[in-house]
Amino acid sequence: MKKNFKVTQTTSGNYITWVSQGCGKYRRKSKITGTTPEEVIIKATKWLKNIEEECVPYTVREAMLQFIDSRSRVLEPTTLCNYNEIVRNKLQYLMDIKLEKLTSRDIQTAINIDAQRLSHKSIKNAYGFLKAVLKANDIDIKLGSIRLPKREVKERKLPTADMIYAIVKGTDSELPVLLAMWSSLRIGEVAGLQFRDVDPVKMRLYVRREIVKTDNGWIETNHCKTVKSTRYVNLPVYIYQLIQSVPHNKDTDRIINVTPNTIRKHFKKLLRQNGIEDIRFHDCRHIFASTAAMLNVPEKYAMEMGGWSTPDVYKNVYQETFDSERTKADNVIDEYFNGIIGKHQ
């Protein structure tokens, strides 16, 4: 390392220079003293070399891995899995660049490269993670000029609930699809349901946990995606009968005893066999939302049924009328789907 040092003499006759290395939280600064300018330069050079060796992690990859490791006990397993996926497969142009050398131009280049193969959402998530890592390391880079690719709005026509039910009726996919399309459960919530979540007296189904993917495979969580996602949904008689037909030994057995990935594969196979390609299992929830809108179910009730978070949590003024209004909304949904079920009997 060759560096020009500004060495000055003090009133006491000694010589000094100030040296610094690194950036952000890794920045180090020190005053080097000596009896001669040569001694100060030798000490300063040695100090800089030692600091450079100490300042690890320094690359973007190493900083990201350190960020993940330092938060491994507080972040959700799915979040950790997503972060590790970013380190492995996204923003690869940046990974070997040292933090102190990273520029906004580097970041934009990485985004431009990834935009050729990744979705807007994937890039947005990766960029959000990078910003969190930079902030944690006190790296100050002007990001105002960074531009993410525009989100492509693909106009897709969802099949009707009637079409989907006709395809899944009598198959292994019937119950999980109805739980998503009629009761608006997420796929992880469907896979996490246990028989003890069924209340045959109040005819309710309690959504309390999820099956999620992590770096170590599929695991069961003791909570749902958000606070609002932990909820109960109305349990229609037809879905209750389907659940009761599933063999089980104990209340903690899972109702749908396969992983979300298997649920997706079975559903996609049925769709392909019936000439439908561009539909995901998650779209069953979209069908629920579209159906609720079509039937004029008030948005706030539909959002609660589906566990979607809203800016305005239910105010106290609504609490007294909520149960009766919720029942009305449930009945409207049930009447619609019971009509579909009856038509196919």
What's at 222, amino acid-wise? N
DSSP 278-342: S--TTHHHHHHHHHHHHTT--HHHHHHHHT---SSPPPHHHHHHHHHHHHHHHHHHHHHHHHHHH
- Angle between helix 316-343 and 237-244 (nearest 10): 70
Give pLDDT, residue 217: 85
Give pLDDT, residue 317: 24
Give pLDDT, residue 278: 79
Both tokens assigned to 73: 């006990």
Give pLDDT, residue 140: 86
Rounded to 5°, the CA angle 342-284-82 comes to 155
Per the CB < 8 A criterion, the answer to whether 48 and 36 are in contact is: no
Give the residue extent of every domain in the chain. Answer: 8-54, 60-136, 161-343
Q: Please report, in tens digits, the pLDDT of each residue of the chain (345 residues total).
A: 456 788 888 888 888 888 876 555 556 678 889 889 889 888 888 887 776 655 545 799 999 999 999 888 888 888 899 999 999 999 999 999 998 889 999 999 999 999 999 999 899 999 999 999 999 888 889 999 999 998 776 666 778 888 899 999 999 999 999 999 998 899 999 999 999 999 999 999 999 888 888 877 888 787 777 666 778 888 999 999 999 999 999 999 999 999 999 999 999 999 999 998 778 898 888 888 778 777 777 776 777 776 665 434 322 222 333 355 567 778 888 899 999 999 898
Per the CB < 8 A criterion, the answer to whether 131 and 172 are in contact is: no
Gap between the terminal Cα atoms of the chain? 81
Query: For residue 145, how many other CB atoms are within 10 A of its CB?
Result: 9
Per the CB < 8 A criterion, the answer to whether 226 and 158 are in contact is: no
Q: Which CATH number fits domain 161-343: 3.40.50.720, 1.10.240.10, 3.40.50.980, 1.10.443.10?
A: 1.10.443.10
Give pLDDT, residue 7: 86
Residues 6+ apart with CB under 8 A from 57: 63, 65, 66
- Identical fold for domains 60-136 and 161-343, yes or no, is no
**Topology of the domain comprising 60-136:** DNA polymerase; domain 1 (1.10.150)
**pTM attached to this predicted model:** 0.66
Give pLDDT, residue 1: 46
Per the CB < 8 A criterion, the answer to whether 260 and 187 are in contact is: yes
Give pLDDT, residue 306: 64
3-state SS string for 244-268: HCCCCCCCCCECCCCCHHHHHHHHH
- In whole angstroms, what is the distance from residue 208 CA to residue 199 CA? 13
Give pLDDT, residue 99: 87
Give pLDDT, residue 228: 65
Instruction: Give the CA diameter of the chain.
Output: 102
